[in-house]
Amino acid sequence: MDGTVTKGKPVVLHGHTHVPLHGEKQTGKTDPNSKLKVTLVLRRSRELPDLHSEFGGKHPRQRKHLTRESLATEHGMIADDITLVTRFAHECHLELSEVATHRRAVVLSGTAAAMERAFGVTLVELEHPRGSYRAATGNLTVPHELSGIVLTVLGLNTRPCAQRRRVHHQNTVKPFWTVREMADAYGFPAKHHAAAQSIGLIELGGGCHEEDLQKFFSSIQMPMPAIRWVAIDGVQNSPAPKHGIQQFLDVVEGKLKISEVSEDVLAAAQSTVEVTMDIELAAALAPGAEIVVYMAPNTEQGIYNAVSKAISSDGKPDKLPCALSISWGEPEIGVSEAYINCVDEVLRDAAMLGVTVCTSSGDDGAMNGSTDGKPVVNFPASSPHALSCGGSTVHTALGDDVKESAWNCALHGLHGATGGGVSRRFGAPHWQKEQGVPLGPTGRKGRGVPDVAGPADPHRGCAIFVGGRWCSSAGTSAVAPLWAALVACINSTLKARCGYVTPLLYELSKSGAKPLREITEGNNGFYKAGPGWNACTGLGSPIVQRLIEALRG
């Protein structure tokens, strides 16, 4: 262990190439004296056991989940690796800010000039309608002695790597139903609860006003839920002003033209509407559950830190969430390979720990803003370790008799459709190989998206209260918290963690239990809904009581 770390020839760390946003413009070099923080993700001390042989289609009570302590000690970082990284930081005039053993992460801080020298890149500043950000140009390198030790470097690039598609739809009618009516229609037991469960919400900016929550839960005669806010990299609960939220809702409802409101006001208001919606739906559908809101910056580093911290105590006592709800995403071709790999690895950790990760499949149909004319799915919805949630339009709901089609408002002069298709980054998982998933846009087999569905059409949305005003839930952003809440209720009922439930749902869909309602009508602009799994609504929407009984049995 003697000698310097930087003496060997630098090794290129592949997968870190900046993925430009269409229309971005370079404005100059990054100030060499500006202060930066980067997160280095290190290798494991030992590989995880095979996920599918551990769980497969097993009942939740048969699954042997890891503990956070065993994940950190048996599969965490190697002490000698930390020593080498510490020496590297010292030689490059970087400060060791944090060593997070539970997350295999080391945080370094220093000037932009020092970072450029340490990693062999040039840092530049960029402008785009989505904001200003930084990017690293050139091949990112690490010293030869750190090759295979440092897997990912996050924080040099600050390009926004997730977005919620804004749904433009005019003349929206009042909310179709209340949260209780929706729960009844989907079969949530009348006296269901999620006591002792914790639901994590991963949010990228915005926030909510407490008085909105008080009004909402008072209206449904439910006590205020326990809500805990966790700031990631300094991002706090920062709701938009109420007048800005009201302007946004006026645009959504066709009372104002989008050109009459500034982009900044719309973006801030939309983030607040989304955060408020996530909290209200998750808490209302899972009474008694603690809601933990992780507020993070919309960067590769911020998202990785939020998701990894949500499932890791980093040595501090904290309740492990039973489910995470992630209501955002970005087309797979729009983010770096390194980011996809490290976040997918965290989602695998979540599965091994017994945490169900519910992700929205996107609100822009199968094409999803594609830049090459071919369908593209969202990440992290495309991760095989997530439960990907697509969207439906509810046409009728008489008792528990729900009639649905794939959500696609484009047929009515509106814009918004459920995301879905075939991954370009992930191969076909074994539990989808007999589901008729078509070949992907590159001609290869891939992971089909989504897995399940729920109500996403704003014309048939659930009543939420935000900015002092009632409005309708909208998008697959509303489906992810619904499924997270459902998982919390199931866990509470079964007194066991569903955890990596995705393969099990595919097993149950082939049984006589039929716990999911197939959605066979509609399309998402490229793929058509149909019997069995489809690339619009997956296996279908939940028949909750039937799903609970199927899992119980």
Residues annotated as part of the active site = 274, 278, 477
11: exposed, middle or buried (Cβ count in 10 Å: 0-12, 13-18, 19+): middle
Rounded CA-CA distance 35/31 in Å is 9
**300-310 vs 337-353: helix axis angle to the nearest 10?**
10
* Half-sphere CA count of 543, side-chain side, radius 13 A: 19
Rounded CA-CA distance 447/451 in Å is 10
Rounded CA-CA distance 36/346 in Å is 24
Give the C-alpha distances (Å, rounded to integers) separating 269 from 82, 326, 393, 462, 467: 42, 19, 25, 19, 9
CB 96 within 8 A of CB 38: no
Q: Which of 449, 439, 440 is nearest to 388 (CA)?
A: 449
Q: Which residue has the tokens 């989907």?
A: 186
Please name every residue paired with 292 in a beta bridge, in sequence order, or none if there are none.
Answer: 200, 228
**Widest CA span in the chain:** 74
What is the distance of C-alpha 396 from the center of its chain?
30
Other C-beta atoms closer than 10 Å to the C-beta of 427 total 13
Tell which phi-psi region holds residue 505, choosing left (phi > 0), alpha (psi between -120 and 50) or beta. alpha
CB 451 within 8 A of CB 419: no
CB 302 within 8 A of CB 180: no
513: exposed, middle or buried (Cβ count in 10 Å: 0-12, 13-18, 19+): middle
Alpha helices by DSSP H, listed for 333-402, are 337-353
- Per-residue burial over 266-298, b if 16 or more Cβ lie within 10 Å, else e, is bbbbbbbbbbbbbbbbbbbbbbbbbbbbbbbbb
